Amino acid sequence: DTAVSQTPKYLVTQMGNDKSIKCEQNLGHDTMYWYKQDSKKFLKIMFSYNNKELIINETVPNRFSPKSPDKAHLNLHINSLELGDSAVYFCASSQEAVNEQFFGPGTRLTVL
Amino acid sequence: EDQVTQSPEALRLQEGESSSLNCSYTVSGLRGLFWYRQDPGKGPEFLFTLYSAGEEKEKERLKATLTKKESFLHITAPKPEDSATYLCAVQAWGGATNKLIFGTGTLLAVQP
């Protein structure tokens, strides 16, 4: 059974386009996250939602907009894609703040 | 500023050759320290959480320990299937308490 799933797995697009990545968790967790992993494998948090409420919003361009329709889903919409947005984006979830976070398989975004 | 440094960046071991990975951290108040394993093309997989200095946790050939300034991941008699990138992350008290700050990882290669 898939715990945290993301779609699509790969996303190749042109500069200036708008794209979305979807995330779903079936663990019953109340907190979900978006992370960005750059080419040097450095993993950095972007956003966190707790029960559909935004609780972490790191220094991320406002072209990135997360949306949580319910506590099992957290989507990431990116407007006007730039070359520097190319990275692997991971969704994660946890039950309450202090517990371990479980990660999805990642979405590799390539902007040409 | 909260910070995590992992060393070495890369480590090559022969099968059966035990070693340790280091995670040094600077954090205003440690809420938890997490170890993850990441295989190529996959999301980080949770291994351990440590909360206080002196705490130790074990899982198969892996043992994680924690002091007030660093954590070690000891690998005893490693096998080729232990090859992966090992990531360390800290969670701090105050501010966004469920934010994980990651190190850049140690890439471990175990040769048969």
pLDDT tens readout for residues B89-110:
999 887 666 788 999 999 999 9
Taking contacts as CB-CB distances below 8 angstroms, the residues of chain B near A44 are 102
Give A-chain residues touching B44 at CB under 8 angstroms: 43, 90, 103
Q: Is the pLDDT of residue A96 over 90?
A: no
A102 CB contacts (<8 Å, ≥6 apart)? A3, A4, A25, A27, A29, A92, A93, A94, B46
Residue B84's Cβ-count burial label (10 Å; 0-12, 13-18, 19+) is: buried
Angle in degrees, CA B39, A100, B34, rounded to 5: 65
Q: Is the pLDDT higher at A5 or at B28? A: A5
Mean pLDDT (whole number) for A75-92: 96
Q: How confident is the model at residue A98 (pLDDT cuts 50, 70, 90)?
A: low
- What are the phi and psi torsion angles at B22 (to 5°)? -110, 145
pLDDT, residue A46, reads 93
- The answer to whether residue A72 neighbours chain B at the CB level (below 8 Å) is no
B1 to chain A, any CB pair closer than 8 A? The answer is no
Residue A66's pLDDT is what? Answer: 93
Is pLDDT of A97 > 90? no
Residue B104 has what pLDDT? Answer: 93
Amino acid at A26: N
**Which tens digit of pLDDT belongs to each residue from A11-64?**
999 999 999 999 999 999 999 999 999 988 899 999 998 888 888 888 789 999
What is the distance between the alpha carbons of residues B71 and B54, in angstroms, rounded to a whole number?
A: 10
Chain A CB contacts of B32 below 8 Å: 98
| Number of C-beta neighbours around residue A47 at 10 A | 21
Contact yes or no for B102 and A98 at CB 8 A: no
User: What pLDDT is stored for residue A16 in this prediction?
Assistant: 97
Residues 6 or more apart whose CB falls under 8 angstroms from that of B99 comprise A45, A48, A56, B91, B92
The C-alpha of A82 sits at a distance from chain B's nearest C-alpha, in angstroms, of 23
pLDDT tens, B46-85?
999 999 999 999 999 999 999 999 999 999 999 999 999 9
Task: State the DSSP code for A101.
Answer: P
